[in-house]
Amino acid sequence: MLAAVLKAPGLLELDDLPDPAAPRGGALLKIKACAVCGTDIKMREKGHRDLVYPRVLGHEMVGRIVEIDASCGLAKGCLAEGDLVQIWPGIACRRCGPCLRQADNRCPDIKIMGFNCDGGFAELLALTGQSLSGGVNLLPGNVDPALAALAEPLACCINGQEQACVSKGDRVLILGGGPIGALHALLAELHGVEKIIVTERLPARIRLLKSHTNASVVDPTEESLESVLAAEMGCNGVDVILTATPAVQVDGDLLRLLSPGGRICIFSGPAPGDYQERIDLRSIHYHELTITGAYGCASRHNRSAAELLTSGMIKAHWIVTKRTSLARIEDAFSHSSQRTGLKSVVCGNL
């Protein structure tokens, strides 16, 4: 099968690999869509904490089951050959404390497809029994696989907004209007927040956000964020800040934009060494602020995300701005890294 293999930083190659077999108790999938994540771009450029080489990248996957081990009791009756499914990329033990508390993304033994085991930028994917028993979400047969591939990044946003307790009536500031910022905006809207402000400086992204979300979009190179916040909602600040780009300074000045009781979620992964100095504990104390983080998503977040996208409760088709075949994966990576549009998806039928 054809697969995009990252062999070292900067070295992503299309290889012809032996077809994988369906593992005992597992299944074999034909990949129908696998979206390019900011993390894939980062991994190709400079590696990643959880990456092991050589690696077939890709963790935002939708595929069709072509073979399933019928002896697998859990899959029997629920999943069958021909089913279209979305995959949570984690492979967790399903027995430890975090797994039993529905936080399987915190499993100490987790493996992540596309990071430390092979992922979806390939024609075929072998799914283990662990994945089949909790990480696979059945999709309606007529859904656009590229749209459904947004379920994993949306699930990460659900996790982040859960960590930051985003709720009805909140005023939410999203730093960065790329694919993740856009999904955060749609999700915050669904949560019934009072006001969403997204910072973004690229005109194409500003246009897309303005026409498909209720967010106010601010170009921080043109106007001061403080004055926009003051004009839009008085001097009370925002309840929640979500970082959706690593190109943001998380410091006392940023924390001052939070109203008392405010929460900030460090969603976008900072570079090694960044922000490992002192933090302003006085403002955390006096204003009762919460700093939280989010990394990836649990299987239950994927389940909710797949439902939100396929039911149309979240309308995210406009976020897919590029589709390519696996053979042209370079085009997908350059569309994402040039940031002219939003999300690129490698599709199995192109």
Show Cβ contacts of residue 37 under 8 Å, excluding neighbours closer than 6 positions: 59, 60, 152, 153
Report the interface residues with Zn ion, using CB under 5 A.
Answer: 37, 92-93, 96, 99, 107
Structure token digits, residue 257? 């934009």
Closest CA to 125 of 165, 88, 96: 88
DSSP β-bridge partners for residue 171 = 195
Query: 60 vs 170, which CB is nearer to Zn ion?
Result: 60
Rounded least distance, CB 23 to Zn ion, Å = 19
Query: 193 vs 305, which CB is nearer to Zn ion?
Result: 305
Closest CA to 215 of 176, 243, 251, 166: 176
Q: Give CA–CA dist 89/136, Å, rounded.
A: 9
Rounded least distance, CB 326 to Zn ion, Å = 18
Rounded least distance, CB 205 to Zn ion, Å = 18
Rounded least distance, CB 49 to Zn ion, Å = 14
Rounded least distance, CB 102 to Zn ion, Å = 11
Query: 271 vs 281, which CB is nearer to Zn ion?
Result: 271
Query: 14 vs 93, which CB is nearer to Zn ion?
Result: 93
Query: 119 vs 348, which CB is nearer to Zn ion?
Result: 119
C-beta of residue 198 within 8 angstroms of C-beta of residue 179:
no
Query: 50 vs 67, which CB is nearer to Zn ion?
Result: 50
Residue 11: what are its φ and ψ, rounded to 5°?
-120, 85
Closest CA to 287 of 259, 253, 251: 259
169, 183, 307, 304 alpha-carbon torsion, rounded to 10°: -70
* Pairing mode, strands 27-35 and 124-127: antiparallel
Rounded least distance, CB 70 to Zn ion, Å = 26
Rounded least distance, CB 300 to Zn ion, Å = 14
User: What's the helix, strand, coil split of the chain in %, to 5?
Assistant: 30, 25, 45
Query: 37 vs 174, which CB is nearer to Zn ion?
Result: 37
C-beta of residue 86 within 8 angstroms of C-beta of residue 144:
no
**Residue 121 C-beta-side C-alpha neighbours within 13 Å:** 29
